[in-house]
Amino acid sequence: MSPVLTQVSNSLRDLFEDARRVAVLTGAGISAESGVPTFRVGGGSEIWMWRGRPVTELSSRELLATDPKLVWEWFDHRRSMLAEIRPNSGHLMLAEWERRFEEFTLITQNIDDLHQAAGSLRVLELHGNIWRARCRRCGSTFEVRESPIQEVPQCLACGGPSRPDVVLFGELLPEGVFERAEKAVQNCDLFFVVGTSAVVYPAASLPIAAKQARARVIEVNPELTDISVFADFTLLGNAGQILPQFTQGRFEGNSCDSQRIN
């Protein structure tokens, strides 16, 4: 089992300062401190439910085929929550890291646009974006910022019906995005896995790809996950508190290494 720490140690800071190519994969957990519900609550036992249905059904290709209006209502419910929500220190820190490293790739499973709101300029959105719609007739995409929506938004190009421009369960990821993410994690020095239960594929395969290549893998999560075994270090804590420690002052001596748990 890799070292499990509760604070960033001086040796981790050295790794951070020496890194030239860094990649980060984020999941719902990085938005939790902003007040956005995660998909798995209570340590992964229960799944987010709405109108008596689990998120895996509400965000599924099948439901879009049978009840597109309900799918829009589900995403509009989440958009109305997000309208008042701001990025937290975890998002802001990653936006700062984008400017710090020679090569920096931010890969997110989140559709909440909070990385962009925090100032991240280059975000690989594996699962799309909740503020974009896609025409079901001609495929063109357009922004839909109004929330709640009065009716299903019509395509600006052809007037056809639209759907949220997000990847539903059972759907393929956008062309090329996953491949660019995979290439980044296979060529980086450090790969951070922040706030994800690493259950959903193919996103969850990225930490394994990083490990098989040459990266040192650092996990940031209040709980251990399915990929903790692949991590070189697991930092047990909230992203908003842990990530800033990589650039904050050092501890005297090496006392913090004694923060290991295992």
In DSSP terms, 124 is beta-bridged to 107
Query: Which among 63-71, 131-139, 163-171, 208-216 is the span making contact with ligand BV8, rule CB under 6 A?
Result: 163-171
Which element (helix H / strand E) includes 164?
strand 162-166
CA distances from 89 to 98, 141, 185, 224, 249 (A): 14, 30, 24, 22, 17
The phi, psi pair for 84, rounded to 5°, reads: -100, 0
Binding track, positions 46-65, relative to ligand BV8; x by CB under 6 A: ---------xx--x------
- If the CB atoms of residues 102 and 172 are measured against ligand BV8, the closer one turns out to be 172
The phi, psi pair for 173, rounded to 5°, reads: -75, 160
- If the CB atoms of residues 14 and 66 are measured against ligand BV8, the closer one turns out to be 66
Out of 91, 239, 245, 256, point to the residue binding ligand BV8 (CB under 6 A). Answer: 239
Query: Which among 140-148, 199-207, 211-219, 247-255 is the span making contact with ligand BV8, rule CB under 6 A?
Result: 199-207
- If the CB atoms of residues 123 and 155 are measured against Zn ion, the closer one turns out to be 155
Binding track, positions 147-166, relative to Zn ion; x by CB under 5 A: --------x-xx-x------
Residue 91 among the catalytic residues: no
Q: Which residue has the tokens 């799944």?
A: 47
138 binds Zn ion (CB under 5 A): yes
167 binds ligand BV8 (CB under 6 A): yes
CA max distance for the chain: 65
Both tokens of 253, joined, read 């001596």
Under 8 Å between Cβ of 190 and 216: yes
Euclidean distance between CA atoms 98 and 100, whole angstroms: 6
238 binds ligand BV8 (CB under 6 A): yes
153 binds ligand BV8 (CB under 6 A): no
Out of 61, 137, 180, 250, point to the residue binding Zn ion (CB under 5 A). Answer: 137
Euclidean distance between CA atoms 128 and 261, whole angstroms: 37
- If the CB atoms of residues 45 and 252 are measured against ligand BV8, the closer one turns out to be 45
Report the catalytic residues. Answer: 127
